[in-house]
Amino acid sequence: MTTITIDYTAAYEQGAGIGRLVREMTGALASLDTATHYKLFIAGANKHTPPPTPAPNFTLYPTRITPTWFARIWQRARIPLPVEAFTGPTDLYHATDFVLPPTLPKTRTIVTVHDLSFVKVPDAASPPLKAYLDTVVPRSLARADHIIADSAATKSDIIDIYGIPANQISVVLSGVSTAFRPVTDPAQQQHVRQKYAIGQQPFLLSVGTVQPRKNYSRIIHSLAELRAQGMDLCLVIAGGKGWLQDEMHQTIKHTHMEDAVKLIGYADDADLPTLYSSANCVVFPSLYEGFGFPVLEAMACGTPVITSNVSSLPEVAGDAALIVDPYDTEALTHAIKRVLTDSDLHAKLIEHGLIQAAKFTWEASAQRLREVYTHVLS
């Protein structure tokens, strides 16, 4: 039986983003492939009990050694301790989070690069993290037998920045969980409004870690302008604390939007569909994304979306969102006003959004991933 090891650490550690991608993709693989033995490697498995395996042909390989210590051992000290010391022999090792650890010579390897924001966007990563990624990502790409990118835009960036041949990179698009669907029950919507202290007024929703790349300051300037025009509106930001948040908080203070911006932190996964469905519009003018889950999640919930004309976002949104220059606050303000005041446009975006989101399934993603595995093992 073929054995494939998947780095499952992000799925164990992270609720959203890469963690959600790895969890969903692995679950879909379990439904698709019963003939392969999958090993799920978890570094730092000492925070909580590891999750159950998704199928009998999946085995967990947890270790209490943290990702930070592995980075010191493998990447900084360059100690060539193979990952197989923790997982046992494997035919293929899939590094799902940018960095490839040492492996035995006979092991085939794949590394997934989700985005290159640390290269493309100033302030996308803290200086220590950027310095680390600038060193280890090129090294990982040079060693890997194959590379997976989350989008055609990210593949293009990998080629342009690192000179990797196109035939060594495969695009595996993510999916949208079936949990994301329109929630029209007033009681559920009211529960979420109360739980997160949103209030009863119409609201814009932005989802993502609070960091400069998410462009929250420009959204807040747009909100202030629309409220100055008499629109009854607030902004809900659902995302954990990132870094360099001072600019956003200064913008809130400068625009006197303290009562109009609701910072609710991470929203529970179970609440996200209702939160999306309750919003009048989802605004996601990110400066760079490798994929952009909130765009499709909002569409799947029947909520109009405004997003950026950069990186992967036009590729993901298709013709189902209003696309704006994320550096143009006036254009963003105008787009929000159009969505909220033009009922025909509002209805069109909902209709097209539901169709667009339905194109992205985890089953299709897992099938594409399995094809890449087969290619690399052949």
Quick: pLDDT tens for 174-233.
999 999 999 999 999 999 999 999 999 999 999 998 988 999 999 999 999 999 999 999
**Has residue 240 got a pLDDT over 90?**
no
The rounded mean pLDDT for the chain is 95
Burial bucket for residue 194 (CB in 10 Å: 0-12, 13-18, 19+) = exposed
Based on the fold, state whether residues 223 and 341 are members of the same structural domain: yes
**Domain CATH code at residue 225:** 3.40.50.2000
259 located within any domain: yes
181 located within any domain: no
Q: In what helix (H) or strand (E) does residue 217 lie, and over which residues does it extend?
A: helix 216-228
Residue 6: which of 26, 33, 24 has the closest Cα?
Answer: 26
At 350, the pLDDT band (50, 70, 90 cuts) reads very high
Q: Which residue has the higher pLDDT, 209 or 161?
A: 161
Number of domains in the chain: 2
Based on the fold, state whether residues 227 and 347 are members of the same structural domain: yes
180 located within any domain: no
pLDDT tens digits along 33-51? 999 999 999 999 887 888 8
Q: How far apart are CA 350 and CA 301, in angstroms?
A: 9
40 located within any domain: yes
pLDDT tens digits along 297-331? 999 999 999 999 999 999 999 999 999 999 999 99
Q: How far apart are CA 240 and CA 378, in angstroms?
A: 42
Q: In what helix (H) or strand (E) does residue 165 lie, and over which residues does it extend?
A: none
Cβ-proximal residues to 37 (8 Å cutoff; 6+ apart), any chain: 1, 2, 3, 4, 57, 59
For 19-57, b where at least 16 C-beta lie within 10 A, e where not — what string? bbbbbbbbbbbbebbeebebbbbbbbbeeeebeeebeeb
Q: Name residue 194's amino acid.
A: Q
- Token reading at 293: 């889950």
- Supply the range of the domain harboring residue 76: 3-175+361-377
Based on the fold, state whether residues 208 and 166 are members of the same structural domain: no
pLDDT tens digits along 96-116? 999 999 999 999 999 999 999
